[in-house]
C-alpha cells in the first residue's frame, strides 16, 4: 500500500521526466491523468516535446506540467537527460507517454522500495500490457522469466518506466545521449552497478505499457547493432568486447530471418565498429563477476 507521509513531514518529491513527439495525444492525456492520481508523493512533472511543440497539443496541459520544446528530435536518451536536468526531486521517474499507472500508489510504493537500501539506484517494476497481452520477455530482467521472474537485484531494467535515485543517476553521468535509441539502458545499468549501486527488480509493483515490437521503428535494426558495439566499446574490458559483439551477431543470425533486416543490422554493426562510441568507462573484473552472479554475464 502507499505510504502516507507522517503529520508535518513533507512527502517525497519525485521529478517526472515525460517525453513525447506529439503523435499520440490521447495516450499522453491518460498518462498524465494517472500521474496526477498518485498519493503520498509530490510531483514535479517535466514534459519535453521532442521534435514537437507542446503548444500544438489539442488539449490544455494541467497546471503542474512544465513543458520544454526541442525543435529537433534529440532521441530518447538525450531527451531524458534534458528532462532530468529540469525536473526537481530526490527521485526521477522516467515515464513513457503511452504508459499508465494502474493504482494511485505506484510511485509511493516505488519510493518505499528505494529507501529499503541506501545503495538502491533503480526500482524496476513489472510492465504489463493493459489489454492483457503477454508481458514481453525483454521487459523481465531475468533469463528465467517463469512467473514474471524472481524479484531482487538485477542487471537491467524497463527503461521507459522506472524510478531512479537522483544521486546515483547524476554520479554516473545519466543516459548516453548520443545513442539516440537502443541499449542506452544497458549502458546506464552497467555503469551504475560498476559504481556500487543496485538495480532492484520489483514485480509486485506493476505499470501498464502497450506490448509493441521495438522493430516497428525504422531505425531499430541499425541502432540495435551499432549501439550493441558502442555499449561494449564503452564499458567492457578489452578481452570481452569481441566476445560480446560476436555472441550478439550469432544470436541475431539465429533470431532474424528477414534478409533485408539482417543487411541493415550488419551495416549498423560495421558503423559501430568504425565510429567513436564516446567516453570509455571500463568496468572492473569484480563487476564482471557480479553481473555473472546475477545471471547475466556481460558477453551475452
What pLDDT score was predicted for residue 218? 66
- Say whether both 106 and 171 belong to one domain: yes
Domain that includes residue 141, residue range: 13-212
- Say whether both 42 and 159 belong to one domain: yes
Terminal CA-CA length for the chain: 37
What pLDDT score was predicted for residue 300? 82
- Say whether both 130 and 243 belong to one domain: no
- Say whether both 59 and 130 belong to one domain: yes
Q: Cell 492525456 appears where?
A: 29
- Residue 7 in any domain: the answer is no
Whichever domain contains 200, its CATH number is: 3.90.550.10
Residue 119 in grid coordinates? 545503495
- Say whether both 178 and 229 belong to one domain: no
- Residue 292 in any domain: the answer is no
- Say whether both 59 and 198 belong to one domain: yes
Mapped onto helix, strand or coil, the DSSP state of residue 11 is coil
Give pLDDT tens digits for 7-27. Answer: 568 999 999 999 999 999 999
> What gap in Å lies between CA 63 and CA 128, rounded to an integer?
29
> What gap in Å lies between CA 151 and CA 104, rounded to an integer?
22
- Residue 124 in any domain: the answer is yes
- Please check whether residue 283 is in contact with residue 186, taking contact to mean a CB–CB distance below 8 angstroms: no
Residue 272 in grid coordinates? 559501430
> What gap in Å lies between CA 48 and CA 175, rounded to an integer?
16
- Residue 275 in any domain: the answer is yes
- Please check whether residue 296 is in contact with residue 155, taking contact to mean a CB–CB distance below 8 angstroms: yes
> What gap in Å lies between CA 48 and CA 90, rounded to an integer?
20
Residue 106 in grid coordinates? 505506484
Give pLDDT tens digits for 219-232. Answer: 899 999 999 999 99
Give pLDDT tens digits for 25-71. Answer: 999 999 999 999 999 999 999 999 999 999 999 999 999 999 999 99
- Say whether both 71 and 142 belong to one domain: yes
- Residue 155 in any domain: the answer is yes
Q: Give the number of domains in the chain.
A: 2
Q: Tell me the mean pLDDT in the region 186-209.
A: 98
Mapped onto helix, strand or coil, the DSSP state of residue 193 is helix
b/e burial code for range 10-24 (CB count within 10 A of at least 16 → b): ebbbbbbbbbbebee
Amino acid at each position: 500500500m502507499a505510504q502516507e507521509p507522517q503529520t508535518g513531514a513533507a512527502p517525497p518529491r519525485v521529478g517526472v521526466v515525460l517525453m513525447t513527439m506529439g503523435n499520440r495525444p490521447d495516450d499522453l492525456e491518460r498518462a498524465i491523468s494517472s500521474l496526477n492520481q498518485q498519493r503520498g508523493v509530490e510531483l514535479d512533472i517535466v514534459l519535453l516535446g521532442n521534435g514537437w511543440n507542446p503548444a500544438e497539443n489539442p488539449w490544455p496541459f494541467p497546471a503542474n506540467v512544465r513543458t520544454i520544446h526541442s525543435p529537433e528530435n534529440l532521441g530518447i536518451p538525450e531527451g531524458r537527460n534534458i528532462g532530468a536536468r529540469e525536473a526537481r526531486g530526490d527521485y526521477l521517474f522516467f515515464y513513457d507517454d503511452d504508459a499508465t499507472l494502474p493504482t494511485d500508489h505506484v510511485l509511493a510504493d516505488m519510493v518505499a522500495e528505494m529507501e529499503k537500501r541506501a545503495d538502491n539506484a533503480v526500482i524496476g517494476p513489472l510492465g504489463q500490457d493493459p489489454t492483457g497481452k503477454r508481458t514481453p520477455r525483454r521487459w523481465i530482467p531475468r533469463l528465467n522469466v517463469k512467473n514474471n521472474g524472481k524479484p531482487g537485484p538485477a542487471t537491467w531494467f524497463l527503461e521507459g518506466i522506472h524510478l531512479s535515485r537522483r544521486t546515483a543517476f547524476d554520479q554516473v553521468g545519466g543516459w548516453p545521449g548520443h545513442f539516440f535509441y537502443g541499449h542506452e539502458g544497458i549502458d546506464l545499468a552497467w555503469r551504475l552497478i560498476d559504481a556500487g549501486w543496485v538495480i532492484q527488480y520489483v514485480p509486485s509493483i506493476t505499470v501498464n505499457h502497450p506490448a509493441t515490437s521495438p522493430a516497428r521503428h525504422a531505425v531499430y535494426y541499425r541502432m540495435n547493432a551499432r549501439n550493441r558495439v558502442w555499449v561494449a566499446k564503452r564499458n567492457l574490458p578489452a578481452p570481452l568486447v569481441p566476445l560480446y559483439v560476436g555472441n550478439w551477431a550469432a544470436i541475431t543470425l539465429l533470431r532474424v530471418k528477414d534478409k533485408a533486416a539482417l543487411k541493415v543490422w550488419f551495416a549498423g554493426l560495421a558503423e559501430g565498429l568504425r565510429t567513436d562510441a564516446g567516453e570509455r568507462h571500463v568496468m572492473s573484473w569484480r563487476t564482471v563477476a557480479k553481473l555473472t552472479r546475477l545471471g547475466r554475464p556481460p558477453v551475452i
